[in-house]
Amino acid sequence: MAVKLVIVAPYYEQATFIWSPYLKGWVADSLKARCVEPVVLWGNDAVPDKFAQALKDPDVKGVLGVGHGSETEFTGQGYSVLVKVGMLVPQEWKDDVFAPVSCLVGQRLVPYLVQQGVPVGIGEVTEYWFTAVGTGDGSDPEQDPLLKFFLHAEYTFWFKLAEGATAGEAYDAMIAEYKRQADQAKRVDPTTWWCLQTDWQNRKFFGDRSYRLPAPGGRVSTSVQVSVSGERKPLEKEDEVAVSGTVVAEDGTAPRGSVKVKAVREDGVEREETAGLDGKGSFTASFTFPWDINIDLKYTVTVTYLGWRTEAKCYLPSAATATLTVKGTKTPTVTKIARLEAKREGDIVRLLVEGVVTTSDGEPVPGGVVEVVATDTYPFKGYARTDQEGKFALKADVPVGWFDTTLSVTACYKGDDLRMPSCDEKLAKYPPNWKIVAEIAGAAAAAILLLIAAVIAGA
């Protein structure tokens, strides 16, 4: 059977200028994706006679939308009264859900309708507050960075109801979504957070929690299976987030259509794209996120199947969320001592160290600090910086012992936020101080001769 919902969308002053385009666009399209036919009363059609005529259709099972209200009235275009306390409620209304966005109607109007036989009603017992930038053509809530919080929260009720949930389950999901949206809005705008908090606390349910909309023919539930992976590219200062998955239908067929894939980094930076399903219901998407600091970063990926309709079937929308953390990592490097010279001049060795620092792929590392350490009798430490080709050079005069003939020379690139440290070690060879050695040898020989002479004289 066909299931229809009447959407009241007046368009005549600031509040309706902002809200109603999303009723005609996004809300209507989202209901169609859930196998429900929207009957949109836009602008001058949101008047009493056309409202009453629309509700005479036996396939109509609910009223949503927006309009100014009071404790006793709900109005449409130009404040024309559509519903009021004391009116005779027609028999055809007594299987319709009544849950528009309107101030104060939860005080008397919605309870009155339920008392007269309307199965379910939701109404605000105070004023309904919302904030908006006033942007967008109504096709996507994300076009208005403030109004989106209210739209996503409010229409959770109708979307869940259209998917087969009971009125009580749909209402509970709506309140939970108001709370979730409020938590998100708190980081964006405190006034928006206050409005959302006030709205959900005063948005009351009346009637039968077990009520369900009739099930449209051919409705097929779906689920999303999603897998995510991430790769840190330190030299490019980017993270690559890859998403893949499949939309599965409960009847075993392969759903058609597309998914909306949204990736959000923990600091609020987000990317989004729409990916089509292949013949098996599978999809892929990828995103690039630049960053400034090489630390662990968490990403949350949400995949929303947008639904699909054929003449025989209606595949319901579904969604799944996955998270991943891309670890801070650094590119390996290679430090190589290409030339090492050590020339003794007395008690000094004139040391020359030349080398190069590259990545593990052979790309030069420019501007890197290289620490050169020479150890043995008198440790030495010096520093050099690589040029654009990754080359470095250091000259130093290193004090050494008379008999020393080798120096252990180590060159270590210190690394940075993007690259790992690396070292190379070589042995420098040079002769002893022959002059001192000869003098010492001569003195030793003379001492031995004197000793021999003294022994002979004593004999």
For residue 74, what are the CA distances in angstroms to 13, 52, 85, 110, 258? 16, 13, 9, 10, 38
Q: Are 218 and 255 in contact (CB under 8 A)?
A: no
DSSP 328: P
Residue 453 within a domain: no
Token pair in block for residue 388: 């654009």
| pLDDT surpassing 70 at residue 453 | no
| pLDDT surpassing 80 at residue 456 | no
> pLDDT value at position 441?
60
What band does 297 get if pLDDT is binned at 50, 70 and 90? very high
| pLDDT surpassing 70 at residue 135 | yes
Residue 448 within a domain: no
Note the pLDDT tens digit of each residue in 68-124.
Answer: 999 999 999 999 999 999 999 999 999 999 999 999 999 999 999 999 999 999 999
Average pLDDT over the chain reads 92
Note the pLDDT tens digit of each residue in 4-51.
Answer: 999 999 999 999 999 999 999 999 999 998 989 999 999 999 999 999
Where residue 45 sits, what CATH number does that domain have? 3.40.50.1460
| pLDDT surpassing 90 at residue 219 | no
Domain endpoint, select from 187, 207, 227: 207
> pLDDT value at position 377?
67
Residue 343: count of CB within 10 angstroms of its CB:
12
| pLDDT surpassing 70 at residue 374 | yes
> pLDDT value at position 446?
59
Domain endpoint, select from 177, 207, 237: 207
| pLDDT surpassing 90 at residue 227 | yes
Residue 403: count of CB within 10 angstroms of its CB:
11
**Mean pLDDT in residue range 281-291:** 96
For residue 267, what are the CA distances in angstroms to 87, 235, 263, 299, 420? 53, 21, 12, 9, 26
Residue 360: count of CB within 10 angstroms of its CB:
12
DSSP string, 185-222: HHTT-HHHHHHHHHHHHTEEEEE-TT--PPPPTTEE-E
50 and 158 together in one domain: yes
| pLDDT surpassing 70 at residue 448 | no
Token pair in block for residue 358: 């590259």
Residue 212 within a domain: no
Where residue 301 sits, what CATH number does that domain have? 2.60.40.1940
How far apart CA 425 and CA 458 sit, in angstroms, is: 58
The phi, psi pair for 425, rounded to 5°, reads: -130, 135
Structural domain count, the chain: 3
Residue 454 within a domain: no
Domain span holding position 389 = 333-436
Note the pLDDT tens digit of each residue in 90-106.
Answer: 999 999 999 999 999 99
What band does 213 get if pLDDT is binned at 50, 70 and 90? very high
| pLDDT surpassing 80 at residue 376 | no
For residue 7, what are the CA distances in angstroms to 54, 97, 107, 268? 10, 12, 22, 34
| pLDDT surpassing 90 at residue 319 | yes
For residue 203, what are the CA distances in angstroms to 101, 124, 379? 9, 4, 78
Residue 445 within a domain: no
Q: Are 64 and 26 in contact (CB under 8 A)?
A: no
Of the listed ranges 164-173, 244-253, 362-371, 399-408, the one predicted with least confidence: 399-408
> pLDDT value at position 217?
75
Token pair in block for residue 447: 């001492």
